[in-house]
Structure 1
Amino acid sequence: MSEHAVVAPLPEALRAASRTLVMGVVNVTPDSFSDGGQWFDRDVAVAHARHLVTQGADIVDVGGESSRPGAVPVPPTEETRRVLPVVEALVDAEAVVSVDTVHATTAEAAVAAGAHIVNDVSGGTADPEMLATVAATGAVYVLQHRRGTPDTMNSLAVYDDVVAEVRAELAERLEAAVAAGIPEQQVVLDPGLGFAKEARHNWTLLAHLDELARLGRPLLVGASRKRFLADVVPAHLADQPLARDAASAAVTALAAAAGVWAVRVHEVTANVDAARVAAAWTAER
């Protein structure tokens, strides 16, 4: 662990935000499900990330490895090579940066470059060094629910009670994170929509976010453009991820009204508006 790898505190304005925060996605990958290759070039990725900030993104989430079902694993050295220049450019622009990775070495390098948040879709199960690494940096840790790996997770989408089981499995991983030295107040939980979940499981989890909030930690919801939203768009557009943006914003409004800390999205403007609408609505209850 580098002595320079300790993160700056998350800005207080984000800790005590008056509305649900919007985390904009920058996939520096050739194979992500909705925009693979679009932002793979370093300069294009940086320009896109800066554009998300001008649109109102509170946080920019930079990832260098696709986590879609069946995705080919990327060596941590290649992942770091992809994301680090983008992280550095965003930090120089004073953006709040999250790194989307399951690898401890990538997380450490990104935090050393100025990232505030480590967003780990595996909840610390993919890399045995991740939890200790995050603990040493002091970064905010987004701990997501997932079963298995991109190769196996679809086969593991079997639940008797998806809300109770996801909540119990998140609680188990939260306990492991705290045991590894991550302060509980630094942990954000993510139900992992689409990760070892069928469409009906995702809808059920969204309808019962209050049950997950009983774990006592802020929630991050990542529904943007995911396949389960094809259920609610016109049939002839069902296979087009970008056609799910309006549905994604609708989920943001409902999740924000339910009190989630942040939403992770590809299209920022409509989701910022949705979060603001939810804040105005709930303020008058």
Structure 2
Amino acid sequence: MEELTLLILGAGWTATFLIPLLQSRNVPFAATTTSGHPVADVPTLSFKFDPSAPEHETLSAIAALPRARYVLVTFPLTGTGPSKLLIETYTATHRSGNNNAAGEKKKNSDIRFIQLGSSGIWQQQQQQNSCWITRHSPYATTNPRALAEDELRSLGGCVLNLAGLWGGGRTPRNWAGRVAPTKEAVREKRSLHLIHGDDVARVVVAVVDGGCGWEDDDKMWEVSGRGQRWLVTDGFVYDWWALLVGWADGGGGGDKEKEKGPGVVTSEQQRAGWVFELMREEGVRALPRSMEALGRCYDTREFWEAFGLVPLKGRVC
């Protein structure tokens, strides 16, 4: 069977953006879901990775997958063991011959793994002397997801730690009622970091392609892929208070209440009112607040600079 460029393990929300981009670039790919249902009008393979399953079941399930140059893991792996199990089993069952037709050894014929991770591994860490966090900043190494990601990196894989995912049916405005239901909840809201699904797709393709073309990606992978962890956002640090005030008109969806008559205050307006009360109480003169006041600010310039890209979907409104 001809080798694919990319195998997507777990074609969920991300795949609805990634698959159309791969199609537009004529990139050979396959995708899996637990039920084998279509995603973005593309059939998928039925596959479920269960690290606790009997060894023969895991071997059989992974062996049935097509061979690909890159394997993208979109579902979370946790703790030590699952990353190693997945990588070693897939590699053992899909290793192709290392010689070409002339009997010469292929260059960098290994299979490359990419894991989509969360920026949450930095959330509980205290940063010294700065509110800024980069991919090099200390993170919660005992976090179950961090353990799995570090294991994958130690085996030569690449981790993309993504901030808040939005796009399609995911709209930050719709989160307000859940994350800020009371004035005290609003008081605690500080920074928000986001990345749109269109840019997530471009990020994955950049790591796979390396900006060098699909046939010449070895050098870029060795420099910017193998063993790397990238922190990725759209380059903005959003102030929750500023967003809540900006959504006071209820436009664009959200949890806007139906009009009940003159003078009725909607939930959006109530949250905006809480923000202005808190501004007075905490001495905030205007929005957005300073980076220092927001407390945790992600600096993700390094990824975009390394791959020669800029986000296309920044500035959520």
Does TM-score exceed 0.5, indicating one fold? Answer: no
- Structure showing greater Rg: 2
TM-score, normalising length: structure 1: 0.37
> Relative to total residues, which structure has the larger helix share, 1 or 2?
1
Flag the structure with more relative contact order, 1 or 2, with Cα contacts below 8 A and sequence separation at least 6.
Answer: 1
